[in-house]
Amino acid sequence: MGSILIVAEIQGGKIREASYELASFAQSLAGASGRSVASVVMGASIGALAEEFAKRGGGKVYAAEHAALAQYNAETALVAIKAAVAASGADLILISNTPSGWDVAPRLAAALDAGFVSDCFQIAADGNGLVLKRRVFNGKLDATIRATGEKVVASVQPGAIAPFTGQAAGSVEKLAVSLDPAGQKSRFVGIKQSEAKGVDLTKADIIVSGGRGVGDPAKFPEVIKPLADALGGAMGASRPVVDAGWLPHEYQVGSSGQVVSPKLYIACGISGAIQHLVGMKTSNYIIAINKDPDAPIFEVANLGVVGDLFEVVPALTAAVKTAKGG
Amino acid sequence: MKIMVCLKQVPHQDARLDIDAAGTWIKEDGIKFEINSYDTYALEEALRIKDAGEAEVVVASIGPERVTQALRTALGMGADRAVHVKDAEVQGSDALGIARVLAAIAKAENPDLILMGLMSDDGNFSAVPPMLAELVGVPHTTAALKIERSGGNVTVDREIEGGAHEVQELKVPCLVAVQTGINQVRYASLKGIMAAKKKPLDVKTAADLGLSGKVGAGAARVKVEKLAPPPKGDRAEILKGSTDEVVKGLVGKIKELGLL
C-alpha cells in the first residue's frame, strides 16, 4: 500500500490549522492500516515550517522551495504536488477544501487519473477502498461515497476534525521542482484586500438576517429590517440575497462575507448552506424561522419556528415593540 | 472568439428531496429542474462578452431528454449553438467521466474560453472545471468574481477567504469557473425564446465522441453508496402552535436572554 500524502498550506507565514486537521485524518488512517504519512510543504522559503510540520504529524515532509511557489497558482502548485506524489509513492492525497485546495485538487486528480471526492468530513478505509462522507444539495443531504482506483485525491472540509496536536516521528527532505516562469500559462498577480465595510455586523449584539425565502427585495425593508430595528439590532443577509442584488455585499453573513458571533442571531428564510453556517454558527443564541422543517439551519439553531416568515416576523416585530413600550 | 459554456441541469432549488428506492440519489420523477445557478452566471458572463463584440457562444450539457429544456433556455438567453450529450452510457459517470465528455466536445470546438459554474447545486462537488482544464491542457482558475480580457490574456479576480480577492492571469485559451454573484443574470426574452427554436442543437452520444466504454458507471471510481438526511443530533427546539403562541415563545426567550 502506498503512503498518504498531505498537501500542507501556508497562510500568513504559518502552516494552516486545516493542514494539522489533515494530519489528524492521515495519522488515524495510517495507524489503522500501517501506511506511512508524508507531506508536501511548498513556498519560497519554508525550512522552519517544514521542520515544524514534520514533528507535528506531517511525517516525511517534502519541502518544495522555489520562488515561483511564493504565492498560490494552480499551475505551479500542481507541479510541486505531482513531484511529491511521485517521490512519496502516495496513493491517497489529502488537500484542504480551501480556496487554493478546491482550485488545484480536482486538477491533480485528473492528472493522476485518480478518484476524487471533495469537501469530505469523514474518511475511513475498508478492504475495498475508501469510504468518505460529504454533504450534498447545499447541506440538505449526506452522501456516503466509495472511492476506488489506484489513487484517490480527497479534499477535506476545514474544521471537520480536531487538528493533530501530538508529536510524531518525521523528517524533511528537499523536493526538486522544475518550474520555468517563462513557460507558464498562468501566473499569480496579487491579492486585493476587502474594502472597509459600510455595515459592520461583527459589532452587533443582535442580527436579523433574511435569505432566499424572503423572496423579494422589497420585503427586506418591509419585514426583516423592522424586526432588526425593533430589537435594536442590525440586518444581515445570506449569499443568494446578495448574489441576486437585493442587498449589497456588506450585509452578507458567511464564509465569503462577514463572520459574526452576536448574542442573538435570527435567521429568516435561510435554509442554511454550509457557507452561511460557517459565518454565524458561533452566535450565542440562534433562532431560525423557515417553512421547510428539514432545512439545515435547524441543525445549528437553538430555537426554531417551522412556518411562514411573513406571518411570524411581523407578529414578532409587533410583540417586541409592545414589550419595549410596556 | 469562441466561448464554450458548460451547463448542468439540476433539481430546482426548492424541489422536494426524497431518496430513491436504491437509496443512492433523489427521486427525479415529478420534480422541476433548472439550470444550475452557478452556470447561469457563467452563461451571462459569456453573453456579455458576446454583446461587447465578436464572440460565438456554444453551450454544452450532458443528460437525458429533459436537458433539452435547459439548452433551449440558454439559446433563448442568447447562446448561438448547443451540444447535448444524450446517452444512457454516460449515466453514472463520476466527475472525471463528465470532464472526459466535456473535454471531447472542447477538443472538437476548440474554444478560446471555457466558462462554467464553480460547482453544481446538487452534488456540490466543484470538481469538473479544473479536471476539464487538465484534460484539455489549458490553464484555469475558479471562484471568479471578475473577468477582464486584454490581448491574449484573461485576468481574473477570484474569491478567497475574508472577502479578499486573489488575482490570477491566464493565457488564452483557458477555463474560468465562476462564483455566483459575478453579474446579474438576464432572463430569456420572448423574442429570444422564439429565435432559439431555429438555433442548432446537436445531439451526441459517447460513441460520437470516441468515448464508448470510457465513461459511465462502469468507468467511475467514485460512487454514491448511500444518501440520507444528515443525522438529527442537536436540533433546534421547535416552537409549535398558532402564530400568537409561537411569537409569545420567541419573545419569552429573547427576554430570558436579557435582550428585551
Distance (Å, whole) CA A306 – CA B238:
7
Sheet architecture: strand order including A206-210: A234-237, A206-210, A264-268, A286-290, A303-306, B237-239
In a domain, B232, yes or no: no
In a domain, B229, yes or no: no
Residue in chain A closest to B162 (alpha carbons) equals A256
Residues of B in contact with A145 (CB under 8 A): 222-225
Q: How far is A139 from chain B (nearest CA, A)?
A: 8
| Structure confidence at residue A168 (pLDDT) | 82
Number of domains in chain B: 1
Report the DSSP pairing between strands A129-136 and A141-147. Answer: antiparallel
Of A119, A263, A301, the CB nearest to B257: A263
Query: Is the per-residue pLDDT at A196 higher than 80?
Result: no
| Structure confidence at residue B131 (pLDDT) | 98
In a domain, B254, yes or no: no
In a domain, B42, yes or no: yes
Structural domain including B192 reads: 2-219
The ipTM (two decimal places) reads 0.95
Matching fold, domains A3-183 and A201-325? yes
Cβ distance A72 to B237 less than 8 Å, yes or no, reads no
Q: For residues B26 and B11, is the Cβ–Cβ distance under 8 A? A: yes
Cβ distance B161 to A194 less than 8 Å, yes or no, reads no
Q: How many CB pairs under 8 A join A and B?
A: 255
| Structure confidence at residue B42 (pLDDT) | 98
CATH topology of domain A3-183: Rossmann fold (3.40.50)
Query: Is the per-residue pLDDT at A197 higher than 70?
Result: no
Residues of B in contact with A202 (CB under 8 A): none
Strand partners, A132: A123, A145
Residue in chain B closest to A190 (alpha carbons) equals B167
| Structure confidence at residue A274 (pLDDT) | 87
> What CATH number corresponds to the domain at position B12?
3.40.50.620
Give the pLDDT band (50/70/90) at residue A281.
Answer: very high
In a domain, B64, yes or no: yes
In a domain, B240, yes or no: no
Place of cell 478518484: A115
Strands (E), chain B: 2-7, 9-11, 33-35, 56-62, 81-85, 113-117, 140-150, 153-159, 165-171, 174-178, 201-204, 222-228, 237-239
In chain A, where are the structural domains located?
A: 3-183, 201-325
pLDDT along chain B (260 residues), means of 10: 98 93 95 97 98 94 97 98 97 97 98 98 97 98 96 95 91 98 94 95 98 95 94 85 96 95
- Mean pLDDT (chain A, rounded): 94
| Structure confidence at residue A194 (pLDDT) | 76
Residue in chain A closest to B25 (alpha carbons) equals A143
In a domain, B237, yes or no: no
Cβ distance B142 to A103 less than 8 Å, yes or no, reads yes
| Residue predicted with more confidence, B231 or A12 | A12
Place of cell 449584539: A205
Cβ distance A118 to B238 less than 8 Å, yes or no, reads no
Q: For residues A302 and B237, is the Cβ–Cβ distance under 8 A? A: yes
Q: Please tell us whether the domain made up of A201-325 is placed in CATH 3.40.50.1220.
A: yes
Distance (Å, whole) CA A287 – CA A152:
40
Q: How far is B141 from chain A (nearest CA, A)?
A: 7
Query: Is the per-residue pLDDT at A326 higher than 80?
Result: no
DSSP calls for A149-192 = SS-EEEEE-TTSSPPP-S----EEEE------GGG-SEEEEEEE
Residues of B in contact with A249 (CB under 8 A): 163, 181
The answer to whether the bond into B173 is cis (omega within 30° of 0) is yes
In a domain, B242, yes or no: no
Of B166, B223, B246, the CB nearest to A72: B166
What number of CA atoms fall less than 13 Å from residue B86's CA on the CB side?
A: 14
What is the value of pTM for the model shown?
A: 0.93
Give the mean model confidence (pLDDT) for residues A151-169: 93
Query: Is the per-residue pLDDT at A307 higher than 80?
Result: yes
| Structure confidence at residue B230 (pLDDT) | 85
Give the pLDDT band (50/70/90) at residue A193.
Answer: confident
Query: Is the per-residue pLDDT at A86 higher than 90?
Result: yes
Query: What is the 3-state composition of chain B as percent helix, strand, coil, each rounded to the nearest 5?
Result: 30, 30, 40
- Each residue of A89-145: pLDDT tens digit? 999 999 999 999 999 999 999 999 999 999 999 999 887 889 999 999 988 999 999
- Each residue of A65-85: pLDDT tens digit? 999 999 999 999 999 999 999
Distance (Å, whole) CA A44 – CA A30:
29
User: For chain B, how big is the Rg over CA atoms in Å?
Assistant: 21
Give the mean model confidence (pLDDT) for residues A234-239: 96
